[in-house]
Structure 1
Amino acid sequence: MRYQDFITSDHNVLLGKPIIKGTRLTVELILRKLGEGATYSDLADMYPGLSTEAILAVLQYAADLVANEKDLRVAR
């Protein structure tokens, strides 16, 4: 699966934040909900039409972003 099949960014929609295609659900929202302990089932209940594949695409997208980070330490 390619996350690009599920995630898009358009400057005319939510100021270009990455969203799940066909929705106004941001990648950030899904990641925050998962980080708060929501399960895939919880997310499906909260957001009807949200597929497991879309959630997995969000995780793949986040992993790619983190993989390209150079350093998370704050410069002093």
Structure 2
Amino acid sequence: MDYRERITIEPDKRGGKPCIRGLRITVYDILGYLAAGMSEAEILDDFPDLEPADIRASLAFAADFEHRLMVAPSR
């Protein structure tokens, strides 16, 4: 999945945090709901503007971000 089709970053929206398709729902929000144990169906019920691909895009964005992190060498 190419999350760049669904994840937007706008400086004047939600402090420039990555959002879903220009909505005010952040990737952080989606990841937090999943981490808290909400199912995809529950998230979609609570946020009718979201689509299943938005949740997958949030996960892909987080995975890519984690992959790009630089780890400081241990001493």
Both structures adopt the same fold (TM-score exceeding 0.5):
yes
Structure 1 residue ranges (4+ consecutive) displaced by more than 4 angstroms after TM superposition: none
* Residue of structure 2 in register with 1:3 after alignment: 3
Encode CA deviations 1:15-48: one digit per residue, 9 max, x unaligned: 1010001310000000000000111100011101
Alpha-carbon distance between aligned partners in 2 of 1:39 and 1:2, rounded to the nearest angstrom: 22
Letter in 1 for 2:28: E
Ranges in structure 1 where 5+ consecutive residues have no aligned partner? none
Q: Report how many aligned residue pairs link the two structures.
A: 75
Alpha-carbon distance between aligned partners in 2 of 1:36 and 1:14, rounded to the nearest angstrom: 21
* Residue of structure 1 in register with 2:14 after alignment: 14
Alpha-carbon distance between aligned partners in 2 of 1:8 and 1:21, rounded to the nearest angstrom: 6
TM-score (norm: length of structure 1): 0.89
Which range moves more in the overlay, 44-53 or 54-63? 44-53
Alpha-carbon distance between aligned partners in 2 of 1:64 and 1:39, rounded to the nearest angstrom: 22
Ranges in structure 2 where 5+ consecutive residues have no aligned partner? none
Alpha-carbon distance between aligned partners in 1 of 2:16 and 2:22, rounded to the nearest angstrom: 14
Alpha-carbon distance between aligned partners in 2 of 1:52 and 1:31, rounded to the nearest angstrom: 13
TM-score (norm: length of structure 2): 0.90
